[in-house]
Homo-oligomer: A and B are copies of this chain.
C-alpha cells in the first residue's frame, strides 16, 4: 500500500527538490548533520540540495501533536532512538514533513529558517552502529569470485541453503567523503604459494558495491524473528562500499574468514532512505533457477517473495587523479541492479536471528557485493579485471587492475517507476590515500 506521500505530481516549495536526482519531496531520507554555526550533530532530512534541521523542527512546535512523543528522539545526536521506534513513528514523521515541505504548506517562512545548504553541512554517521554484519547474497559475485579461487567448485554446497554472512568491524565504518588509507598487511604475490609473506601496503586494493540495511526496532536475545515479521525490523537502506584488500584476503581468510582485508574501512552513504520511501520500488524476488533447492521453512514467506526485492539501479564510478587533472568526469565502471541478490532482506534477517542472535536499532547489515550475470554490472575490480589479469580501460590511455593512491570510488543508486517520482540513495564516495610506513615508529 502506497501512502499519499508518494504522489508524483506533488512538489515542494524547496526549489531544488523538483526533479532532484536523489531527494525530491517523495524521499525525505534521515541523517545526522552539523553546520559551521552549530557543530552539534543532530538529525536532519534531505530535501533537494538542502538539509532540514529536525531538532529545530522538534523544538518549534510545528510538528503534529501526534508526534509530540517523538520530539525528544529528534534532538538526539544519533538516530538510534528514532530507529528503535516502530515504522508507524517514521511514517507519522514522513507525513508531517511532507505536509510542511509540499507546495501548499503553511509556515513556509519558519521552516525555511531551518534549512541549510547541503554543500555547507557536515554529514555524520546517522547512527551508532552496534554491530555490522556483511552478507554474501550477490550470487553472481559469489560465482565470479569462486571461479577465481575454486575453478572446480565456484559455488560452495551451502550457498543456496544458507544466507552466508559474517561479522564485520563497526568501528571503522566511515561516512561518505572520509579518505580511506591503504592498508598494510601480510602479502604473498599470486603464484608465490610457497614463498614467505612480507608485510607492506596492499597491492590489490578493491571496492565492493553493496547495499546497507539499517535496523529499526531490535529483537531479543534467544528469540528468532519469524520471516513474516522481519520487515518490521528494517528501517531503510544506504549504499555501502566494502573496501577489500585482495592480497591480504587471499592469505588470511582460511579458516575463519576475512579480517584485516576488510576491517580497515567500510564507507556508507550518509542518508537512511526509509522503507516507507522505498515502498513503491519493491518488486518480486526473481525466481530461483530451475533445480535450486527451495528455501527451508524459516526462510520462506510468500509475501516476501512477492515484494521482497528492491528495484534499484546501482552505479559505480572511478575518478583518477589524471581524470581530475584534465577536468574529466568520473568514469562509470558498472551499472548493476539490486535484484541480483539471491536472498531478500527479510530472509537475511530471519536467518541472522534463527539462532537467537539479537539485533539492535542502528545495527547495519551489508548485502554482499551485487554483480550482474553479464559484464556490464560487475561490483568489484576483482571481477572487472578478472583477478588482475585483464586491465580495465578507463579511456585516455588509463587502465586499472586494482585501485591506485588518489583514486576516488563513487557509488550511486536510483529507483524509478512510472507514476512515481524517482528517488535515489545519494552517493558514497571515498578517495584512497597512501599507506603509512611500517618501518618507523608510528603514533
Which of A61-69, A194-202, A369-377 lies at the interface?
A194-202
Check: A356 CB closer than 8 A to any chain B CB.
yes
CA distance A358 to B171 in the complex (A): 7
> Which residues from chain B contact A174 at a C-beta distance below 8 Å?
221
> Which residues from chain B contact A202 at a C-beta distance below 8 Å?
355
Q: Which parts of A178-201 form the interface with B (CB within 8 Å)?
A: 181, 183-186, 196-199
Q: Is the CB of B441 within 8 A of A228?
A: yes
Q: Which parts of A353-398 form the interface with B (CB within 8 Å)?
A: 354-360, 363
Which residue of the partner chain B has the closest CB to A226?
B441
Q: Do A167 and B165 form a contact, CB below 8 Å, given A251-B158, A258-B256?
A: no
How many whole Å from A350's CB to the nearest CB in chain B? 10
> Which residues from chain B contact A296 at a C-beta distance below 8 Å?
186, 197-199
> Which residues from chain B contact A433 at a C-beta distance below 8 Å?
222
How many whole Å from A294's CB to the nearest CB in chain B? 10
Contact with B along A331-370 (1 / 0, CB 8 A): 0000000000000000000011011111110010000000
Which residue of the partner chain B has the closest CB to A198?
B296
Contact with B along A237-254 (1 / 0, CB 8 A): 000000001001001111
Check: A131 CB closer than 8 A to any chain B CB.
yes
Which residue of the partner chain B has the closest CB to A156?
B254
Contact with B along A91-126 (1 / 0, CB 8 A): 000000000000000000000000000000000000
Check: A257 CB closer than 8 A to any chain B CB.
yes
CA distance A196 to B436 in the complex (A): 49
Q: Is the CB of B196 within 8 A of A131?
A: no
> Which residues from chain B contact A248 at a C-beta distance below 8 Å?
355
How many whole Å from A299's CB to the nearest CB in chain B? 8
> Which residues from chain B contact A223 at a C-beta distance below 8 Å?
436, 442-443
Check: A161 CB closer than 8 A to any chain B CB.
yes
Kindly state the interface size class of chain A when it binds its partner: 35 or more
Q: Is the CB of A357 within 8 A of B171?
A: yes
Secondary structure dominating the interface of A: loop
Q: Do A161 and B186 form a contact, CB below 8 Å, given A171-B360, A260-B357?
A: yes
Q: Which parts of A132-173 form the interface with B (CB within 8 Å)?
A: 136, 146, 149, 156, 158, 161-162, 164-172
How many whole Å from A246's CB to the nearest CB in chain B? 13
Closest 4 CB pairs of A and B: A257-B257, A183-B355, A181-B222, A167-B167
Check: A419 CB closer than 8 A to any chain B CB.
no
> Which residues from chain B contact A356 at a C-beta distance below 8 Å?
172, 181, 183-184, 264-265, 435-436
> Which residues from chain B contact A136 at a C-beta distance below 8 Å?
256
A357 is contacted by which of B131, B263, B436 (Cβ under 8 Å)? B263
Q: Which parts of A211-239 form the interface with B (CB within 8 Å)?
A: 219-226, 228-229
Check: A293 CB closer than 8 A to any chain B CB.
yes
Check: A36 CB closer than 8 A to any chain B CB.
no
Q: Which of A130, A149, A202, A359 has the most CB of B within 10 A?
A: A130
